[in-house]
Amino acid sequence: MKYSLFTGDGLIPDNFVGLDNFVSLFTEKRYYSKFWNAFGNNIKFFFIVTIVQNVFGFLMAVLITRPFKGNKTVRKISFLPTTLSVLVVGYIFKLILNPYYGVFDNFLALIGLKEFILPWLGDPRTALPVVAFAVSWQFFGESVLFYTSGIDSIDRSIIEAAKIDGAGIWREMIHIILPSILPIVGIVTILIFIGDFTQFDIIFAMTGTRGDPSYSTDLFGSLFYRTAFASSERGGWGTGMGAAVATMMFIIVSMGVGGFLYFFSKKKEGYDK
Amino acid sequence: MNKAILFLLLLICTTTMVMSEGQKENSSNKVKLVFTSWRTEDIDRMNRINKTFTKQHPNIEIDFQPIKDTEYDAQLKQSLAAGTGADIIFLRSYDSGYQIYKTDSLIDLNKMIPELDSFPKAAVDAWSTPENIHYGIPAAGVVHGVYYRKSIFEKYNLPIPKTWNEFITICNTLQSKGETVFAQGTKDNWMLYEVIYSGLGANFYGGEEARQRLLSKEAHITDTNFLTAFEKINELKEFFPERFEGIDYVTMQQIFGTGNAAMFIGGSWEIGIFEDLGGLDDVGYFAPPVAEDGDLLQYCFHVDAGVAMNKNTKYPEEAKLYMTWLASPEFAQLYMNELPGFFSYTPGEYELTNKLAKEMESYVPGSEATVRTVWEKLSAQAPSGNELMGEAIQKMYAGELTPNEAAEYVDKGLSWYYE
């Protein structure tokens, strides 16, 4: 944060400029166009990851907490990708989706969906959702783990009573499971939010620090890295401006976390009443 | 009792450490100079080169410690600021290197290396201040052109094209025969500007003379000559592989290197990569085709790497001795043999051992040398010319911009330069 108030050529900027870096960031098009682009991408990225991890993670957890043969194995398998490195996951997805020798396009052709084959990571319309899907796939198991532990801790007698009263699985989910594990939904959402707004590794591995193609996958993490550390020819803005970007990231993440905490505590209060 | 044992152990440890330090001092008066670079793939080759120097100066050992390309600039700045920077530094050309010089970390070479006066001025200028202080020895330049598969060209009896029309005719023939014409993809946009536009476009925009007009603000990238270059390179799009938008740099090297495409528009630094991928026996090279028969070839011979000396080195005398050797024809010859595709600026007579490198160099005498279009000065601040060109051409190949709109996109972004 201190460096965001300075400018200079070296890695440690030493010329004090007050809030000039922030003024430049929000008033000069060359800076704000990239900043708001990354912000917009981050919102889309967060939205996709939240849908996959929260909604599908919750449904998966409800499913595997039902008594059936092999539910423990499913739990273990769903957590396996989380143990991999983000870079490894990124490179694996990149290989699978490679338009020249990737297996995914061959698979689509094999099942007769040749017309749906696209340059997945080369098209600005598909690149960001694909990267978001890769992250969601990796951390899906984490959400499942949180939700299953929450569901397991619900008093079984409440669920049994609801069943006797004729509640189906849908009502059980909406009126018993969801209110009971709402704090966990909040925690998972906040973790996804923090992870997504500071995400760098997956972008580095799959689309590069320029957020190719055409900055369509540029997130705050890659924007900060490029602007703070790259040379001017490669998109660097100097360490002072990079620090200003990092400071804004910190402010946005803090406000977001505060907002989610407030939202989920109010929601919980509503249910408690 | 316990205290006595502890004291004894401490005494033994301390004595051993002091003695071992003393032995290090006595047993070797060797000085180790750390040499850093952004090319991690060069470790073995640079070590072999440096062995020759160490043979002549047994008391100086060169420790070549490259850092990953993408981390290099940041790491270099950080280490120099912290006083732990390498003694000898590979420096990028123009503004990147100049930014390092401005941190007051590099030594002035004007008096130290008088040989620089005999180097080509354009190369020395890439590592000089506006006040003509030289801070880097021009070590290597690279050229851009077209690699081709000899077997595929022979199969269809295709000649080496000299003009653009001949080039397009060959592309059409190869396409009609069902061959993958180019291995090119557009996922990594730096390649589109640095190699395709600067390399193949230079013959259309007028090479060095036109570039100088851009630098002096007399010309704009939207001028007809620069626009023609955009239009011409856009003609190649129809010969790119299917879903080229998703093909990255490494994949395109693999496609060509394994013999699955007839041509690859690339840089001379790729010789080693193709050698590793499938050998060079079937690989040929030709310079960017000229617009009309008889035109002078505008050859993009980009100033790529210079060598600088850390002002705060612990061993200034030894470092100076090594720097002098780096500016010698002996180093130049060793460097070009070990790293084919990198061409030295050091004056002298050289024998290149690599056939492809020889082929690339054979075009130099009959050409006008230039460097990448907007590398110098026009990329000194954000948004840099380099970035804008990469973005614009990527969008042009994706069909989002026409060549005219691509040129306007760059010109608009470069408004800071013309203010």
pLDDT per residue as tens digits for the range B153-182: 999 999 999 999 999 999 999 999 999 999
In this predicted model, what pLDDT tens digit does every residue of B262-312 receive, in sequence order? 999 999 999 988 988 888 999 999 999 999 999 999 999 999 999 999 999
A233 contacts on B by Cβ (under 8 Å): 92, 94-96, 375, 379, 384, 386-387
- Percent over 70 (pLDDT), chain B: 93
pLDDT at B17 over 50: no
Contact B194, B374 (CB under 8 A): no
Encoded tokens for B270: 């790729």
User: Would you give the DSSP letter of residue B82?
Assistant: T
For residue A117, the chain B residues in CB contact (below 8 A) are 243
ipTM for the complex shown: 0.79
What would the mean pLDDT of B53-80 be, rounded to a whole number? 88
Average pLDDT, chain B: 90
Residue B307 φ then ψ, to 5°: -120, 130
Chain B contacts in chain A segment 13-72 (CB below 8 A) = 30-31
Question: Which B positions 60-79 lie with beta carbon below 8 A of chain A?
Answer: 70-71, 73-74, 77-78
Measured in whole angstroms, the distance separating CA B186 from the mean position of its chain's CA atoms is 20
Whether B255 contacts chain A with CB within 8 A: yes
| A151-206: pLDDT as tens digits | 888 888 888 888 888 778 888 888 888 888 888 988 899 999 998 988 999 999 99
* Cα distance between residue B160 and residue B166, in whole Å: 8
**B13 has pLDDT over 60:** no
Contact call for B251 and A232, based on CB within 8 A: no
DSSP string across chain A: --GGGEE-SSSS--EE-TTHHHHHHHH-HHHHHHHHHHHHHHHHHHHHHHIIIIIIHHHHHHHHTS--TTHHHHHHHHHGGGGS-HHHHHHHHHHHT-TTT-HHHHHHHHTT-GGG---TTTSTTTHHHHHHHHHHHHHHHHHHHHHHHHHHTS-HHHHHHHHHTT--HHHIIIIIIHHHTHHHHHHHHHHHHHHHHT--HHHHHHTTTTTSSTTTT--HHHHHHHHHHS-GGGT---HHHHHHHHHHHHHHHHHHHHHHHHHHHHHHHHHH-
pLDDT for residue B3 = 60
> Is the Cβ pair A231, B73 closer than 8 Å?
yes
Residue B365 CA, chain-centre distance (Å), reads 21
List chain A residues with CB under 8 Å of B185: 99, 122
The type of residue at B149 is R
A267 CB within 8 Å of a chain B CB: no
Task: Name which of B72, B89, B243 to mutate to probe chain A: the one with the most chain A Cβ atoms within 10 A of its Cβ.
Answer: B243
Per the listing, tokens 């189906």 go with A168
If DSSP states are collapsed to H, E and C, what string results for A215-252? CCCCCHHHHHHHHHHCCHHHCCCCHHHHHHHHHHHHHH
Residues from chain A contacting residue B245 (CB–CB below 8 Å): 99, 119, 122-123, 213
State yes or no: pLDDT of B21 exceeds 60.
Answer: no
pLDDT (tens digit per residue) in B216-262: 999 999 999 999 999 999 999 999 999 999 999 989 999 999 999 99
Give the mean pLDDT of B366-380.
92
Residues of chain A with pLDDT under 50: none
CA distance A236 to A4: 15
Nearest one of B70, B45, B46, B131 to B307, comparing CA atoms: B46
Helices assigned H by DSSP within B59-134: 69-81, 94-101, 121-125
For chain B, the distance separating the N- and C-terminal CA atoms, rounded to the nearest angstrom, is 81
Q: What is the pTM of this model?
A: 0.84
Provide, rounded to the nearest whole percent, the portion of chain B with pLDDT above 90.
77
Q: Shortest CB distance from B387 goes to which of A97, A121, A235? A: A235
When CB atoms are compared, the residue of B73, B80, B189 closest to A230 is B73
Q: Within 13 A of A209's CA, how many CA atoms are on the CB side?
A: 18
Q: Which residues contact B302 (CB under 8 A, 6 or more apart)?
A: B93, B141, B142, B143, B144, B194, B198, B371, B372, B375
Q: Do A99 and B395 touch (CB under 8 A)?
A: no
Whether B41 has a pLDDT exceeding 90, the answer reads: no
Provide CB contacts within 8 A for A84, sequence distance 6+: A138
Other C-beta atoms within 10 Å of B217: how many? 12
Confidence (pLDDT) at A95: 93
Give the per-residue pLDDT at B6: 54
The stretches of B162-303 forming alpha helices (DSSP H) are 164-176, 190-191, 202-205, 207-215, 224-234, 249-257, 271-278
Distance, CA of B388 to CA of A176 (rounded, Å): 55
CA distance B160 to B172: 14
Question: Residue B323: which residues within 8 A CB-CB, separation 6 or more?
Answer: B88, B109, B112, B113, B137, B307, B309
Dist CA B269 CA B285 (whole Å): 13
Pick from B121, B175, B173: nearest CA to B303: B121
Quick one: pLDDT at residue B24? 40
SS3 B258: coil
The span from the CA of A251 to the CA of A264, in Å, is 20
Give me the mean pLDDT over the B40-54 stretch: 93
The more confident residue out of B239 and B24 is B239
What are the angstrom distances between the C-alpha of A273 and each of A37, A172, A186, A202, A225? 42, 19, 19, 42, 47
B131 φ, ψ (degrees, to nearest 5): -85, 10
Distance from CA of B96 to the nearest CA of A (A): 6
- Based on the number of CB atoms within 10 Å of its own CB, is A250 exposed (0-12), middle (13-18) or buried (19 or more)? middle
The predicted-structure confidence for B96-147, as pLDDT tens digits, reads as follows: 898 889 888 999 999 999 999 999 888 999 999 999 999 999 999 999 999 9
| E strand residue ranges, B339-380 | 367-370
SS3 B95: helix
| Interface contact B375, partner A, CB < 8 A | yes
